A and B are shown apart, each in its own frame.
Chain A
Amino acid sequence: MSTLEIRDLHASVGKKKILHGVNLSISSGEVHAVMGPNGAGKSTLSAVVMGKTGYTVTSGSVLLDGVEMLGIPTWKRASAGLHLVMQYPTEVPGVMLNDVLSEALKGRGRDGDIARLDTLLKTEAGRIHFDEKFLDRPLNVDLSGGEKKRNETLQLSILKPLFVILDELDSGLDVDALRDCARRVMDATSEDSLGALVITHYSRLLTELRPSKIHILVKGQIVKTGGPELADVLERDGYAAFTPAEVAAEADAKDDPMGLNLFP
């Protein structure tokens, strides 16, 4: 049983503070959703956990089984068991999927899986209806939105991390691809005890990826945590209902460099 714990995480991009103390904890086999409106800091949260450059963590911790992940390089976080499924997977011309997976498995000491990588790829491609012809393409080059997300899900299923952050898995995805990808993630939570942090704007994803907990992220803070029923409340009332005045005022004040809080 593993735990990923995000503790009082504050982060900025340039001079702008985006995360104002995020707290959440997820264990193996669990699915949690982080939902929030545009600009809430959802993508910043996933980037900071994975160690993308361009973000400054001002305080807080990201602990994987008690080991601090902040300050160690991205590839070591990945080898330790964190994985990010990107909202917009980057095209990497000329770099083949199996070369990347071989190197990634090598870093994890999984030589047996390197030897049978071709078989693994075909099996996993079949499970999510990913056309085998795409296995020989450079990473994400000339793939449609749905194919890119299937490709991301395929990598997830082969690398078998402890925890995955799915950053807006549903963006740019048709219904069939969404179902294929979401079901594969759900399978991994039971087969491999994968813990999944599902970051999304919309509740439609959660009919396939069924979270046990939902965290609502507004203006860089988790303003409410609850069960799956929270998605229905959101659907009905929108995010406005989850923006307490003090949070809004506090966040606005932080974004106000002159300290002129004109609209408290």
Chain B
Amino acid sequence: MPVLTPDSALSLGATWSQVRRSAHERAIAAPFPTIDEETWRYSRIGELDLTTFAIAETPTTITGASSQVTVTQVPASSASVDSSLADLFAQSTSTDLFNSLNLAHMDVVVVSVARGVVASQPIVITHTLNGDGSVYFPRLVIDAAENSEVTVVERFISDDGVRSLVVPVLDARAAQSARVRYLAINELGDKSWQIGEHDSVGERDSDTLLATVALGGDYARVSTAARLRGQGSNTRQVALYFAGGTQMHDFRTLQEHAAPRTTSDLLFKGAVQDTAKSVYTGLIKIHNNAKGSVAYQTNRNLTLSHGAWAESVPNLEIETNDVKCSHASTVGPIDEDQLFYLESRGVNPDVAQRLVVLGFFDEVLAQLPVGNLAAPLRQRVAQKLSIGDRS
């Protein structure tokens, strides 16, 4: 089985807490996934050989920390570990291979906000993943206490040509009435892989936003699960993804309603050009105690080239009648009528297509938790668009 060997894991040092050790045991017990499993269907998991990567400590910089927020950084090599940190992971018993590998080898950043505190500026965490043949396991815990508010941006960066693998996990916890906003930005180079996971748990009347902007990577996957555990809690998941060349973006989403009067809203918008691929599969799961809940799920995809391919599979699993649910999913080229409208004003077709694609993404950009990132990200999308590049 091509997972990391126990020796490579244990060689990391003396900080091997019980959490890491048992995670490691779960990792080596976990079968390597195949595309026969529904959650890996359409993926490129078959191309991944973990034995070709060496574990490296994640190079991370953090800005925006202030006295309002406690930011704790504990790399895997750290000599001592606070017992309270280990307690944070006591409940983490996922049997998923990549989640377990992350837990076993994680370089941890914990962002915690005390009760009633509103963090006025976003925390920005940047991972620069330029080790050729390196695998990185960053883990971010956002711990928002009762009625607190925090915004965290996590950037994943690598240079083109660097064959690195990052297996990040986000673990966001919003206590009663807390507001947590998170944005992941994938700016990886053209040879890097990402297999990531975003998990959030919302307690009573909490509000969480999990946002993703994916532009980079060779194969970049994020599984995002928003769990509503307290009544009246609310969550939003939004994503903008745009793959070109031979890139593939792969999203798996879960909106889980496990308490009454919970609301979830998901908007994922993607585009593929050249021979790029994208996958979206999403599940709304409403437990029978989640009466009076509302869930929306929308996935829209633009295929900008004949060789590009996008898949969209929405699913519902509802155990109670007293809910309002809707899902919508589309895959297709740019709308002909929209193009005709712009061209009939005298806009040349290349410019018209660019305007329509950028307009398509604006709905997501407008919902990002850090408003002033919308313009530069829009610019990045515009630069990547190959429409009109044929000269």
Contact = CB atoms under 8 A, between A and B. Distances in A.
A235 interface: no
Given A79-B346, A92-B341, A100 B363 contact: no
Contact of A94 (B335, B337, B346, B359): B359
A104 B345 contact: yes
Given A75-B352, A138-B359, A90 B345 contact: no
Contacts of B347: 75, 100, 103-104, 107
Contact of B344 (A74, A95, A96): A74
Contact of B337 (A73, A75, A90, A99): A90
B82 interface: no
B40 to A, nearest CB: 33
A89 interface: yes
B344 A92 contact: no
A100 B342 contact: yes
B89 interface: no
Q: How large is the interface on B (under 10, 10 to 19, 20 to 34, 35 or more residues)?
A: 20 to 34
A94 B361 contact: yes
B359 A75 contact: no
Per DSSP, chain A at the interface is mixed
Interface in B314-360: 335-338, 340-349, 351-352, 355-356, 358-360
Interface string B166-182: 00000000000000000
Nearest to A94: B359
Contacts of B187: none
Interface residues of A, number: 30
B338 A90 contact: yes
A120 to B, nearest CB: 15
Contacts of A52: 340, 344
Contact of A75 (B343, B356, B360): B343
Contacts of A159: 345-346
A155 interface: yes
A155 B347 CA distance: 13
Contact of B349 (A75, A93, A101, A155): A75
Nearest to B342: A100
A52 B343 CA distance: 10
Contact of A74 (B335, B343, B355, B360): B343
B274 interface: no
Contacts of A114: none
Contacts of A89: 341
A57 B361 CA distance: 36
Contacts of B96: none
Contacts of B363: 93-94
Nearest to B365: A94
A103 B355 contact: yes
B362 interface: yes
Nearest to B360: A94
Interface in A31-52: 50, 52
B194 to A, nearest CB: 27
Contact of A107 (B336, B346, B359, B361): B346
Interface in A133-167: 138-139, 155, 159
A53 B342 contact: no
Given A78-B346, A100-B345, A159-B346, A93 B360 contact: yes
Most buried by A among B355, B358, B360, B362: B355
B353 to A, nearest CB: 11
B355 A100 contact: yes
Contacts of A92: 338, 341-342, 355-356, 359
A84 interface: yes
B246 to A, nearest CB: 28
Contacts of A107: 346-348
B345 A108 contact: no
A17 interface: no
Contacts of A230: none
Interface in A47-105: 50, 52-53, 73-75, 78-79, 83-84, 86, 89-96, 99-101, 103-104
Closest 8 CB pairs of A and B: A94-B359, A94-B362, A78-B346, A95-B359, A90-B341, A104-B346, A74-B343, A75-B343
Given A103-B347, A103-B351, 13 more contacts: A52-B340, A74-B343, A75-B348, A89-B341, A90-B341, A93-B359, A95-B356, A95-B358, A99-B355, A101-B345, A107-B346, A108-B346, A159-B346
6 contacts: A52-B344, A74-B340, A74-B343, A90-B337, A103-B352, A108-B346
